[in-house]
């Protein structure tokens, strides 16, 4: 298995080391994960899957908890 994989975050390609979480990839790309109900940009908070601030749309599935997902080749991540 190659050590580096390529995924897209909001349409921009990002090359990351295998084993990186999607949340870490989003942060590395300088993107936010989601927009809150009152319009604030949000990123991960707890890093352990309980706060739900890291939710983003991954491969078309909204509300995916990105801190609990590993990056995969060709993954499409979109801030929600």
Partner 1 sequence: MSSSYDAVVIGAGIVGAACAHELAHEGLRVGIVERDIIGGGATAAGMGHVVVMDDSSAQIALTQYSQSLWNELADALPANVEYDRCGTLWIAADEEEMHEVRRKHALYTAAGVPTEILDAQALAEAEPSLRKPLAGALLVPSDAVLYPPCAAACLIAGAQQNRAELVQGKTVLSAHEGNARLSDGTVISAAFIIHATGAGATALLPDLPIKKRKGHLIITDRYPGFVRHQLVELGYLKSAHSVTSDSVAFNVQPRRTGQLLIGSSRQYGAEESQIDHSILASMLERAVEYLPGLGDLSGIRAWTGFRAATPDKLPLIGPTEDPTVYLATGHEGLGITTSLATARLLADSLLNRQPAIPIEPYLPARFAVETAHA
Partner 2 sequence: MRERYDILVVGAGPAGIAAATRAAESGKRVGLVDDNFAPGGQIWRGAESASSDIAASWYARLAKARITKLQGWRIFSQPAPGVLRAERNGDYIDLGYDKLILATGARERFLPFPGWTLPNVLGAGGLQALVKSGLPIAGKRVVVAGSGPLLPAVAAYLRKHGARVAAICEQASFSRLAQFATSLVTHPDKLQQAAVYRWQTRGARYHTSCRPVAAHGQGELESVTLRKGSREWTVACDYLACGFHLVPNTELAELLGCAIASGNVKVDEWQATSIPGIYCAGEPTGIGGLELSLMEGEIAGYSASGQTAKAGVLHRKRDKLQKFADRLEATFALDPALRELPQSDTIVCRCEDVRFAAMAQSSSWRAAKLQTRCGMGPCQGRVCGPAAEFLFHWRAESIRPPVFPAPLSGLTEKAQLHTV
CA neighbours closer than 13 Å in the CB half-sphere of residue 18: 7
CA neighbours closer than 13 Å in the CB half-sphere of residue 72: 7
* Rounded Cα–Cα distance for residues 16 and 42 (Å): 22
Residues from 19 through 58 that contact partner 1 (CB under 8 A): 37
Asked whether position 70 contacts partner 2 by CB under 8 A, the answer is yes
With CB under 5 to 8 Å by kind, the binding choice for 48 among partner 2, partner 1, none is partner 2
Residues that bind partner 2 (CB under 8 A): 16-17, 19-21, 23-25, 27-28, 32, 36-38, 40-53, 55, 63, 67-68, 70
């Amino acid at each position: 298995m190659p050590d580096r994989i390529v995924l897209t975050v909001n349409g921009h390609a990002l090359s990351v080391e295998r084993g990186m979480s999607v949340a870490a990839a989003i942060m590395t790309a300088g993107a936010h994960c989601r927009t809150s109900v009152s319009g604030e940009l949000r990123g991960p908070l707890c890093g352990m899957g309980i706060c739900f601030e890291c939710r983003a749309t991954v491969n078309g599935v909204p509300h995916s908890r990105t801190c609990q997902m590993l990056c995969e080749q060709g993954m499409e991540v979109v801030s929600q």
